[in-house]
Amino acid sequence: MAKYDDYVLSLCSEIPFSDIEIIIMKFIKEAEIDMGSELDAVAVPRVVDFVCKDYSHLPLYAIASAFKKGALGHYGPGRLIPRTINNWLSEMSQVQLYKSKGLADKNESKKWDDLHKYPAGRAICLKIDWYNSGLINGNDWDNIPLKELAGMLGRGEVPVTKDFGINNT
């Protein structure tokens, strides 16, 4: 895929929207093959929106890795829907954060392997993602109770910053 090769090391925010759409569509098609299901055509723009708005700080190779690992079950079971893909991207965002902070050596990264399996761990990861993507700032951080966020995740809800009175649009 020539477009992927052109941008493999680029941050998603640096890739023209028309090209990122083509690339993400290719990732989705590969995930469909791996998972044996198809993503509804209406949902595809939502996935592109996730990448462009919430994960634009990630390099393209990390997005590709999130799709491949997620589709193959490395981030747990799930159906091929935007919510599941968002979870894959969130997991990869955490991996990239740990790498950028120098925490990703073998012993240190092992400590974090199971963090995403527990609601409190997922809540911490989600708050960090929101902060790193600019959806919340330092003041907003304190306005999001970890216990409430973890409870929402534990019930299978998909929390957004607006659930905590934060309007970031």
Give the integer Cα–Cα distance in Å for 169 and 61.
27
What are the φ and ψ backbone dihedral angles of 92, each rounded to 5 degrees? -65, -35
Cβ atoms of 149 and 123 closer than 8 Å: yes
pTM value is 0.59
What distance lies between CA 110 and its chain's CA centroid? 20
Give the integer Cα–Cα distance in Å for 35 and 162.
32
Q: Is 73 exposed, middle or buried (0-12, 13-18, 19+ CB in 10 A)?
A: exposed
Other beta carbons within 10 angstroms of residue 106's beta carbon come to 6
Which among 51, 131, 59 has a CA at the least distance from the CA of 95?
Answer: 59
Q: What is the pLDDT along the chain (169 residues), one digit of tens a residue?
A: 678 888 888 899 999 999 999 999 999 999 999 899 898 888 999 999 989 999 998 899 999 999 999 998 888 788 899 999 998 998 888 887 777 666 544 444 455 555 556 788 888 888 888 888 788 888 888 889 988 988 888 888 888 888 898 886 5
105 secondary structure, DSSP code: S
